[in-house]
Each structure stands twice: as structure tokens, then as C-alpha cells.
Amino acid sequence: MTKLRYERPIITSLNGGVSNKFGTRSLHEPVSHIDGVSVKEIIAQYGSPVFILSERKIRQTYRDAKRAFTSRYPKVQFAWSYKTNYINAICNIFHQEGSWAEVVSIFEYKKAIANGVPGKNIIFNGPDKTEEDLRTAIENDSLIHIDHLDELYQIIELTGSLKKRPKVAIRVNMDTGIYPMWDRFGFNYENGQAWDAINKIILTDKMDLVGLHCHIGTFMLSPNAYAVAANKLSDLALGLKLHHKKNIEYIDLGGGFASKNTLKGSFLPGSDIIPGFDEYAEAICTTLLNAGFTKDDLPMLILESGRALIDEAGFLAGSVIANKRLSDGRRALVMDMGVNLLFTSFWYDHRISPVEASGHHTENAVIYGPLCMNIDVLRENVTLPPLKKGDQVVVHTVGAYNMTQWMQFISMRPNVVLIDPEGKTHVIRRKETVDDLNKMEEMPSHLKSFKI
């Protein structure tokens, strides 16, 4: 008998979607209706592709988040993160629910003002505020969150020519045990920069320090990171009381709660592993309540949650343009929507469902968008039943960051439709046309004509 050859043990990865020891995933079941409205009819009326938002889901999610915090802490205020989705109708749903506005540029600031948000209920974040932007924010009594010393000095300078005392907070960055640390925004806690900024504000006495802010990251899977952040901001607030006899009005813990999406490379779907609002709320509220504030000094808790409040309420419906076999035998589908509309497909494995049932024999496929660009891949590998040209699909959990980061590249941006709680549909952003683009262009007279 010959000796068998030694083979070293290997670990093989299991492909999500295909049969494995956990059984087959059934995420490819058809989704024919959203909030009781037929996707087919929406596409027939508004075209393909089309973004669809559920007002009912937005309000439900917001109320769930609000309940998680208000049942644990007496003073809670949400501020809608405009950059997550700044279509005005969406912002106004949040404002109707009681949200303030959180903006990171003067363009978003102007949108909030035009939507009717009072200046004092606008939080102005971000590193890029011009002198003119700061002047506007000060005149409107908005809450200016200072990002760096240059901004602080500029505000001090501005107070010389303005009658109002600016209301400011500082943005603090810190080690919360999550790496890489977001230390490019604001003043660091551990190395004393945050204290230095606080002392400069208090002792120059040109503005009112009303809050302390942080935004420790995004898609944070650890509620404990927020406990660490709440603890460090509380320490600064209590130090302010001790050394300067001043109370701050609020602690703003920013956004960053994970939405029910699946990060690329994650073995289990996001909906199974991400913490709920109750877990984040428990970590934050318990920390604040135990930090050592007296009842009268307890700061208001502000939350700037973005993706966790809107992602699940957004869908992108589109159609199959073509079926292909790639040279290596894999099935490929070309869709009429790509990374131009779904920027988030670079980091999420978005769930994709057929609109109609079309057979039980599923096959793994790569999903391409319509762009003439190799990077235009919506999913590298997804299990779907056979779909033919013209069949429709729904991409799930796309409400956050896509309708703000979408590109006008090769194709125009499509209609965005809102389904109201009664099941009526409304266009809240009409699709773009070539005229919209050409409106911004100018033709120098020597280039106006040509002969070919």
C-alpha cells in the first residue's frame, strides 16, 4: 500500500445565498407591492428606474427611535441629517415629526431655512463654513458647531461687527475603541485640545458655549462606543461646571447608528446582526443619567441620526435590460440602474428581489448597471430566479445617501416617488432632462457653429 500524500487542512468560505449548512436563503422571493401599492404600476406611471420612498415607514422608524430614547431620558431632541437625504418632502416629514435640521454646508442650511425650519433649530456642522456662512448662522441664532481653531478665531473676529452673541458648541473627537478613529473633525478629547477650545471660548467671552458635540463614525455596530462617547462629553460638561460655573444646554451625540443593511463581506444579513434603537439608547441614556449631573443640570440629548432613520424606507425599482453569459460561465444581468444611482452598492450587498414570481430554479448572477464603465456593478454575486429582458426588480434599503450622492453620469437621475400613508403616490423630485443640464452651460460665440 502506498502512503497517502499529506494535504494541509484548508478553510473554504461558504457563498451567501447558495445551499450551505444553514440552509438556503430565501431573500429572492418576489416583492410585488410596497405599502400595498403595485411596483409594476409605479413603474408604468413614473418610468424605470424609479426611487420609491415609504412615508409610513419613515414615520414608524422615527417614532420607534424617539420612543427608545424618550422612554429612558427626559430631554431628547432629534435633528435630521440633511446630507443623508435632503429631498425637501423627506426633510419635512422629519420636521413634522418634531426634528430639527442638522446641516453640513450653506447649501443644506439654505434648504432648511426654505423648508421653514427656524434658525434657532438648525445645527450647523462641518469644517467648511465661510465668513458669510457664519454671519448668516449667527444672525439667525443657529447653533454653530465649531470644527477647528481657525473657525473659532473667525467667529471671535466676526463678533466685533455683529450685535448678536453667537451660540456655539465644539465638535469633539475621541477614542471610543473603534478604529480607525475619526480624528479629522473637531477637537481631540484625550490630548486636551477640547479643553483648550472650551477655555478659549469661555475666557474670551464673545460667544455662548451651549453644547458639546461628537459624531464618532458611521454604521457603528457597537452601542458601547456611544457609552464611551457620552461619558467623555459628560466629563467635559461636568468640568465646565466645576471650573467655570457654567452649564451647557445640550450634549449632541451625532449620528452613526447602523441601518438594516448588509455590509459587504458580512456573513449574516445586516437585519440579523445590527443593534436596535433600544440598545443604542440604553448605552447612551444610562451613561448620561449616571454621569453625575443634578436634575436641573441634566443636558438635553440631541441625536443626528441619518441612515438608521431612512435607509429601510427607500427602494429603487428598475428593469432588466439584458441577460448574458460571461466568459467564465457565470450568469450576468444588465439592469437600467447602476452605481450612478446607487452609490451605496460600493459598501453594501443590497437585497434585490424580483417583482414577479418567475420559477424556482435560482442561479447566482452578477448584476451590472447600464453604464459603459467596468466598475458599474450592483451586486457581485446574488441568487435570483431566471429573469428576462423587461422583468422588474426592487433593490431594498436604499433611502440613505443615494439620493444625495447619486451622479449625473451617462444617464439622468430618475423620478423619486413618495407613497403617502393612504397609499397615494406623489413625485417629490421629478426626473432630470437634457434641458436641465444644458441650462447650466454656455457656448462661447466662436464655438457656436461648425461644418462637418
Which is nearer to ligand PLP, 46 or 100 (by Cβ)?
A: 100
Residues 304-323 that bind ligand PLP (CB under 6 A): 304-308
Which among 194-202, 302-310, 379-387, 428-436 is the span making contact with ligand PLP, rule CB under 6 A? 302-310
8-state DSSP, 140:
T
Does 83 bind ligand PLP (CB under 6 A)? Our answer is yes
Which is nearer to ligand PLP, 193 or 305 (by Cβ)?
A: 305
Nearest distance from residue 261's CB to ligand PLP, in Å? 11
8-state DSSP, 220:
B
Nearest distance from residue 94's CB to ligand PLP, in Å? 12
The three-point CA angle 368-373-374 to 5° equals 65
Which is nearer to ligand PLP, 310 or 419 (by Cβ)?
A: 310
Beta strands in 87-207 (DSSP E): 100-103, 122-124, 143-146, 167-173, 187-188
**Pairing between strand 352-354 and 392-396?**
antiparallel
Nearest distance from residue 355's CB to ligand PLP, in Å? 28
Residues 386-405 that bind ligand PLP (CB under 6 A): 400
CA gap 199, 58 in Å, rounded: 41
CA gap 114, 91 in Å, rounded: 11
Q: How many CA atoms lie within 13 A of 100 on its CB side?
A: 21
Say which residues have a Cβ less than 8 Å from residue 145's Cβ, sequence separation at least 6: 123, 124, 125, 126, 168, 169, 170, 171, 211, 213, 252
Does 173 bind ligand PLP (CB under 6 A)? Our answer is no
Does 147 bind ligand PLP (CB under 6 A)? Our answer is no
Grid cell locating 407: 451622479
Count of residues binding ligand PLP (CB under 6 A)? 18
Which among 129-137, 176-184, 225-233, 301-309 is the span making contact with ligand PLP, rule CB under 6 A? 301-309
Residues 220-259 that bind ligand PLP (CB under 6 A): 254-257
CA gap 269, 108 in Å, rounded: 33
Query: Per-residue x/- marks for ligand PLP, 109-128, CB under 6 A?
Result: ----------------x---
Which is nearer to ligand PLP, 90 or 320 (by Cβ)?
A: 90
**At which residue does the C-alpha cell 418634531 appear?**
98
Which is nearer to ligand PLP, 119 or 256 (by Cβ)?
A: 256
The three-point CA angle 238-291-68 to 5° equals 125
Say which residues have a Cβ less than 8 Å from residue 429's Cβ, sequence separation at least 6: 87, 403, 413, 415, 416
Nearest distance from residue 93's CB to ligand PLP, in Å? 16
Does 340 bind ligand PLP (CB under 6 A)? Our answer is no
Closest CA to 173 of 222, 127, 129: 127
Does 136 bind ligand PLP (CB under 6 A)? Our answer is no
Which among 79-87, 292-300, 325-333, 427-435 is the span making contact with ligand PLP, rule CB under 6 A? 79-87
Binding site for ligand PLP (CB under 6 A): 81, 83-84, 102, 104, 125, 215, 218, 254-257, 304-308, 400
